Amino acid sequence: MKYLSPFVLGVAACTPVPDPHSEAAHGRKVMALQEKFDRFDYNADGKITRKEAEQGIRESGVSGVTKEEIDAMMEHYDVDKDDAISRWESQRAIDIPVPEHD
C-alpha cells in the first residue's frame, strides 16, 4: 500500500534543508505545513475533508493520484475517523513519519 502525503510532499518540495532533524528544520516544516493546510482547507473550517484533499491535490498539479491512494492518505491522517483531517492531525503527521512505500 502506498501512502500519499500532499502535505509532506509539498513541505519537502519547498523547504530543502541540510539537516531535516534539526529544531530549525522542524519549525520550518511546521510553518510550511500550516500554509499547506490553509490552502487545502477551502472553506476554512479548520478541517480538510476528503473532497478538499482531492481538490487540493488536483490544484497542486500532482497527477496520477488514484482514489485508492487518497483513501490510504485519509486513513493514515484521519486519526479520529471523522472523515476529515484536522489541524492537529496534520501536525501529528510531521512528527510521525508516513510509512515508506516501495
Contact between 69 and Ca ion (CB under 5 A)?
no
Residue from the set 27, 82, 96, 97 that interacts with Ca ion by CB under 5 A: 82
| Under rule CB under 5 A, residue 80 binds Ca ion | yes
User: Of 30, 28, 27, 40, whose CA–CA distance to 74 is shortest?
Assistant: 40
Binding characters for Ca ion, 46-65, by CB under 5 A (x = yes): -x------------------
78 touches Ca ion by CB under 5 A:
yes
Through-space distance between the first and last CA atoms of the chain, rounded to whole angstroms: 9
Q: Is 35 one of the binding residues for Ca ion (CB under 5 A)?
A: no
Query: What residue ranges bind Ca ion (CB under 5 A)?
Result: 41, 43, 45, 47, 78, 80, 82
